[in-house]
A and B are shown apart, each in its own frame.
Chain A
């Protein structure tokens, strides 16, 4: 702990060592924004015709020594310059030209003007998020910020997957850190989009201020606060419906029977007639529906001289597009500031979320929907189900839905209380106690039913539930972090120095308890474990988790005349997850605002031009606790003389020297404003190198490890790329204003080392892996046989090298390239065939306001990636349903095909045949609004009324044949946002399309009212 003292004293001396000096007989004044009244910091004030000048301070005030007849010139980036005669007092109101550059961005434990920032930080305003009818702010971020890739699912309450500048980790979790008003979390599904003021994304090494949690980037969310003034009541609501944006066209009855007759004649010959019915079942239609959705928000905000307040309530109801799948969420928020004295401020930001969900086992359901035979009905008029299973097919997915009743009710409290004390005018102390707690109840009930005529139109098969079963789980997670910072902020002459020092500590605790009982009555009021049969299985489980972190943080920013910018930050992090607990992380950055230079004064092209660069080292410790300690597996049952005895085994092999992943990141960029500030843009180049990345190294079985893997820091990989952002806004005439924006990102991901270890594999289909992660290749590259056609006749089969991987060569079967030319087709003939990670992605948007109408459209796109159509490849049985497109294309003796085989079986090995382009373009959001004339609404006491029609995902243009090119692995939803669910299977198996929840399209009507 010696270091902490040294640091604190050093910081203290730094504060004291700095002295300010001022000029005599000054002209004093204040500069504010003409539109908002906000004070403007750092406005350059010069005496015309001289180089003498100063800048406004944090309160927008300035003081300058000038002759009585002098003219003062006020210049500020993004604002029109003004000239004023030197007179006392001088209040200057400046008119903004490019708001973009005036934005204040949140940089972690502080804020900075975007123009002074040396790092790459994306920023999205809350208004842009709130206008989209989506559940999570993350989903609304899609396509908004360059370098940020968001993938989301249509499943209610699912957590989108976010990659900032590529996949930065395999095992440590590749999602970014979220910081909500200072609360560090992995899950922001509790946040109401309407409560958000802005989102800032730390993309480069500036995230090092979050040290061991910053490597995947940081998304900082700031919620709204009240503004000084009379109370404002705002009501925002939308109502609409959701539907599946796309489903797969499967075969009809005749096509299916034709296919079965061809490939599975014996089964069809033995088919019991009562199973079938004359029509064609479209199983997607059977399980999907139009889901009603609505969202209401009401907020009250305002403030007096000594306080501000913002209180909001919202209710979101989302009927899932799958039958029985519902979600609703109620949130309350109270953000208050109170100035206790002129130097002491109290802040409180608290949110309470209650969500209720009826989840479904999406991956199982949609797997079966895809495979269920169209000759069996879903359900008849008497409520009896078609018996797909008796036809040797999958279980009837409608039965799966109807015979289960799942419920999860979750409560979450998130927020903080904070005190700010101005020790000196330029030295502020901030302490905040942040909490995040989740308490949830999960209840899954499975109804009893038999594979008989009581449930099905005809008995048989193995879809049955012999005993009803009730599963109850309660989770309890609690996390706090306590932040203490000292900030020194001083301007003197043209110098501006900000120094931050602080200490934080964090503790996480989690526990769950669950139990299962059988034969609980099928009445929801009786769904308690006590009503189960005590003589049957009564499993109880209870366990938990705990970890702590401790950190020292420091940052210094210096700018000279708004022209030369230097910054650096340092964080020393301690984490309980490793035996070597402490690590150091840092960043340094520099910027040069070229447009402020004298030699740029005369040019007319650039209104603003900045070059910047940063370099730093970040970490990632997002792995399960105690992964370095060998623990025993206890309660292994065995029986002596019929008595149950619990045994123990030690079957792990652990790396005692496990440590965090290390990411070195370089960023170079420039920002500009041209054409009279109407066009602003940003270009970045980055290179992110991850070393000591955690992977699971396979172990020889002789060591007896039960999972046969060893988690260690062995891999390294790299993401490098370019990001481009452009924004244009202008007005034509009085009534027409318009804007357009675009961003474009290029990312190149590759594994650069495995420390002599073996490649990693992922994604199993038909007993073989699909992806391989090896040197020089992107993470999770498909590594499969190269399908080069279809065998047309026996002569071709006889002449071809024998296939030792999966099915034998046959007429109508896929033909594979003998890549290594050894005269046989086997695992050694596989080739790399792309990955799901897009090479290019981004978004663009445009919109206009004409008189009272407004229209806006947001697009999202990616290309240069591939999807593995796993649904098609993973065949459990010849009775599995097939796609209509495949039925028409497949090889038959009467209609030979050179590209599509006659049948795909459970022995068909993964090959390039199943790889398709993952490129797509989507209209994420289209909104048309109308604002009622102010005169009209004022008469009824309303300040503003706007109505709008909006659609989320109106269309997607893609060549992909599956249900959606946007794939995140289906998850069993967990409302427990605090628990890390780290799955390497997810990352190493990415892009393999198997049983995903359909992507949704939303249409809704909404209203915004302000009183």
Chain B
């Protein structure tokens, strides 16, 4: 009896020991690292990753579609469709948010403005992440400053668009800590001047530290890009001297020249060495390509603006049919201006053949009568990713030499250097197949006319018209009257998205008039 009892207790002892041992042996049993993911902590301690974070900022250019957007469909709505250069397009009732913006009836609950607000702040956050990690990373000084310069150039571009869309916005120049995140310092709007201060200091750093075109990879921000952007910023700030100096520096660098054939500026392939992607005129351009996931191009940029079937249908159309060049724009072209057919696809009663041979059927099978040629991307002669049309690798020209000439011309004119302006305008007009000297001579109106013709459908018109209105009040009202809409100064800025006001606990204040 006693013996059996012992065996029982021995067994019990073994069991308890086993359990106890198994618990202790698995001391770290519950420490499971995330599977298949790199943690933020690992990145912060790895200098090689800092360079990847900069690439991550550029990647935000592919965001968009109906989601947070930087340079794609929603951006097109807020720049071209919002302006007198284009009508909403598609079917009359399609996409209420775009319709509001087209009709100058944007409400704070509009989804497009919220998507753009979100997209840009994602870009800013990526830039701040990269800048934060780079500052502590172990690099040679030149590489480190170049990467910092690229990040700051991109951040400046993001804030420049934000301040032009919304006025003063929350200013975040670093990644807020958890404790700071809800701080009113970040949850309220900074002044327009403070935003510009950050933009200019970022661009000053970029100009000082970025290499010239040719001394760095194609596609990365260059000194020329930083100078061109800063010239543009100063033009908006009416600091004509600095705008002049910086645009002059771009011209004097000798790195850029005009593409001969205007219609080739936005094409993918050069023709006889002229035009195509990353052409002689391109100063900063979104790079795109083909990757396995077919995600390497601004989401829906091309397809949202592609010709749309309507009426009798009966063909495989090219897109959603948004952003139709307006009558007001068409009316402003001088006869023989080649930029008209370089910018606009005209749908004709007998069918339209595009440069790549694609035939759009006659008007009775097409929804709208004009489309943007600059947004067109050939399905046959230009790259695509296995037929994927959402991320067609369209390389948006963000800054190009033609625009630098316009900045230079306007700044020069404002500084009394009419000769410089005449040269700049003459170059552009000659290329457009027009007499070098405008009929009315060189004045502010003719420079602005040239600006509109040169930059049509390049997502500049709305901003530029608001800028011109600040120089010469009444410009915007007149332009919108010609476009069949009624302008009010309220519309110079978009409303702050209501959702963001709510999320800030009403600490973000609304723009006047909304």
Contacts and interface: CB of A to CB of B under 8 A. Distances in A.
B386 A905 contact: no
Contacts of A574: 29-30
Contacts of B295: 637
A576 B32 contact: yes
A35 interface: no
Given A467-B386, A625-B35, A639-B296, A905 B313 contact: no
Interface stretch (A76-84, A127-135, A541-549, A607-615): A541-549
Contacts of B43: 632, 648, 650
A343 B62 CA distance: 69
B29 A505 contact: yes
B20 A4 contact: yes
Interface string A522-565: 00000000000000111110111111111000000000000000
Nearest to A627: B34
Interface in A309-353: none
B109 interface: yes
B220 A640 contact: yes
Contacts, number: 256
Contacts of A650: 40, 43, 53, 129
A421 B12 CA distance: 10
B416 interface: no
Contacts of B287: 638-640, 642
A538 B290 CA distance: 11
A272 B218 contact: no
Nearest to B220: A640
A539 B294 CA distance: 9
B336 interface: no
B40 A706 contact: no
B387 A699 contact: no
Interface residues of B, number: 96
Contacts of A581: 30
Contact of B59 (A266, A272, A631, A636): A636
Given A424-B8, A459-B314, A767-B111, A634 B29 contact: no
A630 interface: yes
Nearest to B120: A701
A702 B185 CA distance: 12
A636 B122 contact: no
B109 A767 contact: no
A1 B19 CA distance: 11
A461 interface: yes
A7 to B, nearest CB: 10
Question: Which of A5, A466, A700 has the most CB atoms of chain B within a 10 A radius of its CB?
Answer: A700
A637 B26 contact: no
A1 B11 contact: no
Given A537-B385, A634-B38, A698-B503, A647 B314 contact: no
A820 interface: no
A484 B14 CA distance: 13
Given A703-B176, A907-B96, A708 B30 contact: no
A626 B181 contact: no
Given A460-B316, A702-B187, A631 B38 contact: yes
Given A4-B23, A637-B289, A647 B30 contact: no
A581 B30 CA distance: 7
B294 A461 contact: no
B19 A647 contact: no
B32 A647 contact: no
B40 A632 contact: yes
Contact of A704 (B29, B128, B289, B364): B128
Contact of A641 (B22, B217, B293): B217
Among B34, B170, B385, max chain A CB count under 10 A is at B34
Contacts of B121: 701-704
Nearest to A484: B19
A564 B316 CA distance: 79
B6 interface: no
A856 interface: no
Contacts of A634: 38, 52
B105 to A, nearest CB: 9
A647 B37 contact: no
Contacts of A629: 34, 39
A429 B93 contact: no
Contacts of B428: none
Nearest to A547: B32
A700 B181 CA distance: 9
A936 interface: no
B269 interface: no
A700 B49 contact: no
A228 to B, nearest CB: 28
Given A539-B292, A638-B55, A641-B217, A905 B40 contact: no
A705 B175 CA distance: 11
Contacts of B58: 638, 647
A461 B55 contact: no
Interface in B35-53: 35-43, 49, 52-53
B514 interface: no
Contacts of A536: 386
A451 interface: yes
B140 interface: no
A575 B30 contact: yes
Nearest to A655: B178
A540 B291 CA distance: 12
Contacts of A767: 96-97, 111
A639 B219 contact: yes
A468 to B, nearest CB: 11
A785 B96 CA distance: 18
B38 A546 contact: no
A714 B117 CA distance: 26
B187 A700 contact: yes
A626 B59 CA distance: 25
B289 A639 contact: yes
A12 B49 CA distance: 55
Nearest to A482: B22
Contacts of A484: 15, 18-19
A507 B294 CA distance: 36
Interface in B176-191: 176, 181, 186-187
Contacts of A12: 12, 16
A544 B312 CA distance: 50
A645 B288 CA distance: 11
Contacts of B386: 467, 518, 536-537
Contact of B109 (A466, A648, A651, A827): A827
Contact of B35 (A466, A544, A645): A544
A8 B16 contact: yes
Nearest to A877: B91
Interface in A690-721: 698-706, 708
Contacts of B26: 505, 550
B309 interface: yes
A540 B292 contact: yes
Contacts of A706: 68, 122
A634 B314 CA distance: 43
Contacts of B96: 767, 806, 907
A1004 to B, nearest CB: 45
Contact of B19 (A424, A458, A503, A704): A503
B470 to A, nearest CB: 27
The 6 A-B residue pairs with the shortest CB-CB distance, nearest first, are A704-B125, A647-B55, A640-B217, A647-B56, A626-B34, A649-B56
7 contacts: A429-B12, A537-B294, A550-B23, A637-B291, A642-B218, A642-B289, A702-B170
Interface of A: 1, 4-5, 8, 12, 266-267, 270-272, 390-392, 421, 423-424, 427, 429, 451, 458-462, 464, 466-467, 484, 486, 503, 505, 507, 518, 536-540, 542-550, 574-576, 581, 625-626, 629-634, 636-653, 698-706, 708, 758, 767, 804, 806, 827, 905-907
Given A632-B43, A703-B125, 17 more contacts: A8-B19, A12-B12, A270-B364, A423-B15, A460-B313, A505-B26, A537-B385, A548-B30, A626-B32, A626-B35, A630-B39, A632-B40, A632-B49, A639-B296, A646-B52, A700-B500, A702-B124
